[in-house]
Amino acid sequence: MLNRLKELQIEAINEISNTTDLKELNDLRVKYLGKKGPIQEVMKNMKDMQPEERKSAGAVSNEVKNAISAAIETKKEELEALAIQQKLANETIDVTLPGRTVNIGVTHPLQAVTNELESLFISMGYTVEEGPEVEWDHYNFELLNLPKGHPARDMQDSFYITEESLLRTHTSPVQARVLEAAKGKGPIKIICPGKVYRRDDDDATHSHQFTQIEGLVVDTDVTMADLKGTLLELARQMFGQDREIRLRPSFFPFTEPSVEVDVTCSKCGGCGCNICKGTGWIEILGAGMVHPNVLEMSGFDSKVYQGFAFGIGAERIAMLKYGIEDIRNFYTNDLRFINQFK
């Protein structure tokens, strides 16, 4: 019987040392040391033994159990350490692997112009406002001093949706909305970038949808000199610090007086080239002093408040700034065009 116990010890330790995983090891613990294990089985015969014999059999069986237990413990530590090693090895980071390339997009030139103008005007204390693209006739025309039947409505061929609503033909209706919301109290200093729509046939310089940036300043002490200073700053920011501007008389129903603004040609510097058609000047935007009717219709006292306004075509600025010859390039999403602005 003692021999059988020793045999079991050798057998168990053999199996334990050949194990390679923790689950298997646990099965061996149950197999050899559990209640139904072979050692318990052998010990059942103890009841037939002499007391002396029984005593030494008890001692040997304890030794065998302890030896198996110890072997299992040692193996367990070994396997656990190995598992940690393996986990660490699997998780090592190869710092020499080249990085994955991320394709970074390009800011669209119209967005770039808009961003640049927004930061310029924000730095001068303006806030950025927005308005709806589907607009009421009331804001798009009437509150801007363009009553129904006014001949100047023909300057802006419109996409009407109903008799009273249309796709806005300019960003000027945001002026009317902001004035109305201010309830007769200034000051107001806003710009408003956004899409506008006109029933034009598309060609190299016309598009049925384009981008405008409207500006409006209303306060108690605003003059044409403020307008001119602001526009000079704008021209220099967009086209270079040595640019000059000139104001030519013009007409818009919502401003009086109205002006068209030219900047000295940035290609030839003013001496005349193909870009400025030999004149040295390039038209960049329309502007003027807010018409008293516009102020009054939106609840401002025109004896107390004056204002100036301007409307910039973002496409026009971008075309001049980057030498783009066809306005349709902005809308066709051709990556060969867009990637040039990296």
Task: Give the H/E segment covering residue 192.
Answer: strand 188-197
In which region does residue 90 sit, left (phi positive, over 0), alpha (psi from -120 to 50) or beta (all else)?
alpha
Does 252 engage in binding with ligand DAH (CB under 6 A)?
yes
- According to DSSP, residue 160 is labeled B
- The first and second tokens of residue 205, run together, are 């310089």
Q: Report the nearest approach of ligand DAH to the CB of residue 227 (Å).
A: 9
Cβ atoms within 10 A of the Cβ of 248, count?
A: 11
**Residue of 158, 311, 314, 329 that binds ligand DAH (CB under 6 A):** 311
The C-alpha atoms of residue 72 and residue 113 are separated, in whole angstroms, by 75
Shorter beta-carbon distance to ligand DAH: residue 25 or 216: 216
- Residue 294: CA count within 13 A, CB half-sphere: 29
Closer to ligand DAH by CB, 19 or 145: give it: 145
Among 10-18, 102-110, 238-246, 284-292, the segment contacting ligand DAH (CB under 6 A) = 284-292
330 sits near ligand DAH (criterion: CB under 6 A):
no
Binding of ligand DAH by 309 (CB under 6 A): yes
Which is nearer to ligand DAH, 19 or 214 (by Cβ)? 214
Judged by CB under 6 A, does residue 168 bind ligand DAH?
no
- Residue 286 within binding range of ligand DAH, rule CB under 6 A: yes
Q: Does 288 bind ligand DAH (CB under 6 A)?
A: yes
Considering only residues 187 through 246, tell me which ones interact with ligand DAH, judged by CB under 6 A: 214
Task: Quickly count: other Cβ atoms within 10 Å of residue 31's Cβ.
Answer: 13
Radius of gyration of the chain (CA): 43
> Which residues on neighbouring strands pair with residue 193, listed in sequence order?
213
- Quick one: 32 or 139, whose CB is closer to ligand DAH? 139
Residues in contact with 291: Cβ distance below 8 Å, sequence separation at least 6, in sequence order: 145, 253, 254, 255, 256
Residue 187: asked if its preceding bond is cis (omega within 30°), the reply is yes
| Least Å from the CB of residue 179 to ligand DAH | 12
Near ligand DAH by CB under 6 A: residue from 172, 264, 266, 329: 172
By CB under 6 A, name the one of 287, 314, 317, 319 that touches ligand DAH. Answer: 287
Site residues (vs ligand DAH, CB under 6 A): 170, 172, 214, 252, 255, 286-288, 309-311
